[in-house]
């Protein structure tokens, strides 16, 4: 048995040609479209079909396009504000669910997953209906005009944060908190000097993750944005309706780059947090 099993251990899967092929096909399907998108953002042609030589003019064009710049700065602003709020809410939610017992706690636990498992389209529509039902004012002033999108983003992002932080908290032995108290820390100091530093790697990771979730969200944003609050994904969508130009490739490439960087650091912080706890 062991001789046959050896082929399938993760370490030497490359020795099995069938597995190698499957992996290759998988990687091609997954990454070729993205590579194609990036390559053609440098194509010196109006259309994305034939390679006509290298150019960076579409990137230069991006910076001259004021509409795109507004959409981009909207996206970044929304991402920063909703990430800060989500991280705070997620942290406090995680601590509450971890440390305290309260009425209907079990159901609250499940309810926390709702924004994650509900189809985004339903989330978007429900937000749209909700904002019109309570007649949320249509602010003209700049950051306030983004308020409805920020509220919608926070509502589906903070559960992610809460889940990541809670996973880290579950590794914190309750005797450690008692040791803190015993050494003279009051409740507030226990949170500030033990719990927060302990969850810090998870906090940073979820901060970055929340940032990417907010930055690239389209569906929920689409339903909650107005004419004064167009975000980058929504703007790209409206541009695509007139055909896919290399300019769209270029802006998408930039978006991918930002998200890859954020995700890279998120994973780095998470793995650091796990290493620290390994005995």
Partner 1 sequence: MIKKKTSIELKKLNKRFGNITAVNDVSLEILENDFFTILGPSGCGKSTILRLIAGLEAQDSGTIIINDEDCSSVLANERPVNMVFQSYALFPHLSVRDNIEFGLKLKKISGDEIKIRVEEILELVKMVGYDLKLPSELSGGQRQRVALARAIVNKPQIVLLDEPLSALDANLRMEMQQELVNIQRNLKMTFMLVTHDQDEALSISSKIAIMENGKIIETNTATNMYEYPSKKFSAEFLGRINIIEGVSSVIDNQIVFNSDTFGKINLERNIKLPKDGVLGIRPEKIIIETEINKQKNRVSMNGIITNWTYYGDMSYITIELVNETKVYINVQNIHRNSLQELNIGKNLYASFDVNDLIILEK
Q: Which residues in this chain contact partner 1 in the complex, by CB under 8 A?
A: 172-173, 175-176, 178-186, 189, 193-194, 197-198, 200, 276-279
Nearest approach, Cβ of residue 172 and partner 1 (Å): 8
| For helices 147-169 and 66-99, angle between their N-to-C axes, nearest 10 degrees | 40
Residue among 127 and 194 whose Cβ is closer to partner 1: 194
Q: Cβ of residue 205: shortest distance to partner 1, in angstroms?
A: 15
User: Which lies closer to partner 1 via its Cβ, residue 119 or residue 184?
Assistant: 184
Helices (H), 2-104: 2-5, 17-40, 57-64, 66-99
Nearest approach, Cβ of 203 to partner 1 (angstroms)?
12
Report, in Å, the least distance between residue 178 CB and partner 1: 5
Beta bridge partners of 43: 54
**Cα-Cα-Cα-Cα dihedral sign, residues 123, 124, 129, 134:** positive
- Distance, in Å, from the CA atom of 82 to the CA atom of 85, rounded to the nearest integer, reads 5
C-beta of 180 vs 246, nearer to partner 1: 180
- Residue closer to partner 1, measured from CB, 60 or 178: 178
Tell me the C-alpha to C-alpha distance, in Å, between residue 244 and each of 47, 146, 224. 8, 27, 25
d(CA 247, CA 265) in angstroms, rounded, equals 28
Q: Based on CB atoms, which residue is closest to partner 1, 36 or 189?
A: 189
Q: Kindly state the smallest distance separating residue 273's Cβ from partner 1, in Å.
A: 9
Distance CA(88)–CA(26), nearest Å, equals 38
Q: How far is the CB of 276 from partner 1 (least distance, A)?
A: 6
Cα separation of 70 and 225, whole Å? 14
Q: Which is nearer to partner 1, 241 or 279 (CB)?
A: 279
């Amino acid at each position: 048995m062991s001789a046959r099993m050896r082929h399938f251990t993760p370490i030497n899967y490359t020795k099995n040609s069938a597995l190698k092929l499957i992996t290759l096909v998988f990687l091609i399907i997954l990454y070729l479209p993205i590579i194609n998108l990036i390559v053609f953002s440098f194509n010196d042609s109006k259309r994305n079909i034939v390679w006509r030589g290298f150019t960076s003019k579409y990137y230069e064009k991006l910076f001259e396009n004021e509409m795109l710049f507004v959409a981009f700065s909207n996206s970044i602003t929304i991402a920063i504000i909703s990430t800060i709020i989500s991280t705070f809410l997620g942290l406090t939610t995680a601590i509450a669910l971890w440390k305290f017992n309260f009425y209907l706690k079990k159901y609250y636990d499940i309810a926390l997953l709702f924004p994650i498992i509900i189809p985004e389209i339903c989330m978007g529509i429900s937000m749209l209906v909700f904002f019109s039902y309570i007649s949320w004012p249509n602010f003209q002033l700049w950051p306030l005009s983004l308020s409805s999108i920020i509220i919608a983003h926070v509502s589906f992002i903070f559960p992610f944060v809460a889940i990541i932080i809670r996973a880290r908290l579950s590794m914190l032995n309750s005797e450690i908190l008692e040791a803190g108290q015993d050494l003279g820390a009051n409740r507030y100091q226990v949170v500030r000097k033990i719990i927060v530093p302990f969850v810090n790697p998870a906090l940073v990771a979820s901060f970055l993750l929340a940032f990417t979730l907010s930055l690239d969200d389209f569906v929920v944003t689409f339903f909650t944005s107005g004419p004064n609050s167009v975000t980058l994904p929504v703007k790209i969508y409206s541009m695509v309706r007139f055909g896919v130009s290399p300019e769209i490739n270029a802006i998408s490439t930039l978006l991918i780059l930002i998200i890859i960087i954020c995700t890279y650091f998120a994973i780095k912080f998470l793995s650091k947090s796990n290493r620290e706890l390994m005995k």
